[in-house]
Amino acid sequence: MKTKTKVAVIGSGNIGTDLMIKVLRLSDTLEMGAMAGIDPASDGLARAARLGVPVTADGVQGLIAMEGFEEIRIVFDATSAKAHVANAAALAPYGKQLIDLTPAAVGPMVVPAVNLADHVDAADVNMVTCGGQATIPVVAALSSVVPVPYAEIVASIASKSAGPGTRANIDEFTETTSHAIETVGGAGRGKAVIVLNPAEPPLIMRDTVLALVDAPDEGTHDALRAAVAERVGAVAAYVPGYRLKQRVQITPVPADQPVHTLTEAPVTHQVSVFLEVEGAAHYLPAYAGNLDIMTSAALRMAEAMAARATELQGADA
């Protein structure tokens, strides 16, 4: 039988618990080695224990002290931006690869459909944010056809799907996502907005990408639509509930439009892309697509890291 790569999850909240369930149910190459939290009464730790996963309520230090810690190769951090800095420092001497699901952005930012292969050997990768995972593939698709001087994204998520960690990291969310729109998506300037929608019943995650481009001819418009469709398919391969809501809109921008103040580069059209992300409901309801896209992206990253490690071991044998 093929040996699986052992992983651990730090953080027993919504994201950490959903990630654990995905590892247990979906992965043929990963094995849960431990879950660490700081709340002994959390549902995540209780659920992990029922599923036979070793647990600790003493956080990262408890994880390091656990029997079998040396066998764990990859550690997911589903805590908070501030906590990740401390967790990364504590784990640094042990040679683990870290996958950061907080907006800490300590390591390189990864969106699997865009730049996964570039960072499979990194010690600490950052999965940006839910809004970034949903929209940056689209920005990157547009950037592959024409320069994108400006891109703005709006991520709307159900208020019920935003736990304490998400609410505590709103500033980091906007800063990290805006930076990733530029560095990963390829936009000259990026802006990110998050909306916590209190509607009842809760609505599934919706994302809008607005990009300014210089694309005066129909051939370029067709190429932009084709690039977006291809990249949406690439994301849907690991996030099945990810989809376009309608045809990509490409509209002229008149010379006197205020949007011209957003960039000094020549702009002829605005590209508008409307997306939605339905969750797989592994742990939380289907409306929590914002959690599902993060955990699905992290799982995809971990499997790529595990495959890379197996490849290197085979080369050394």
Q: Is 15 annotated as a binding residue?
A: yes
Q: Is 162 annotated as a binding residue?
A: yes
Q: Is 161 annotated as a binding residue?
A: yes
Residue at 16: amino acid letter: G
Q: Is 187 annotated as a binding residue?
A: no
Q: Is 233 annotated as a binding residue?
A: no
Q: At 74, is the secondary structure helix, strand, or coil?
A: strand
CA 53 to chain centre: 24
Q: Is 315 annotated as a binding residue?
A: no
Nearest-angstrom CA–CA distance, 130 and 91: 25
Q: CA–CA distance from 77 to each of 20, 63, 157, 223 (Å)?
A: 12, 12, 22, 38
Per the annotation, the verdict on 130 as an active-site residue is yes
Q: Is 166 annotated as a binding residue?
A: yes
Q: Is 16 annotated as a binding residue?
A: no
Q: Is 165 annotated as a binding residue?
A: yes
The one catalytic residue among 130, 136, 302, 306: 130
Q: Is 50 annotated as a binding residue?
A: no
Q: Is 33 annotated as a binding residue?
A: no
Q: At 236, is the secondary structure helix, strand, or coil?
A: helix
Nearest-angstrom CA–CA distance, 96 and 70: 9
Q: Which of 59, 77, 65 is nearest to 9 (CA)?
A: 77
DSSP strand E in the chain: where?
A: 5-10, 30-36, 55-56, 72-77, 97-100, 124-126, 148-158, 187-197, 205-213, 242-244, 249-252, 269-277
Specify binding-site residues for NAD(+): 12-15, 161-169, 290
- What residues are labeled active site? 130
Specify binding-site residues: 12-15, 161-169, 290
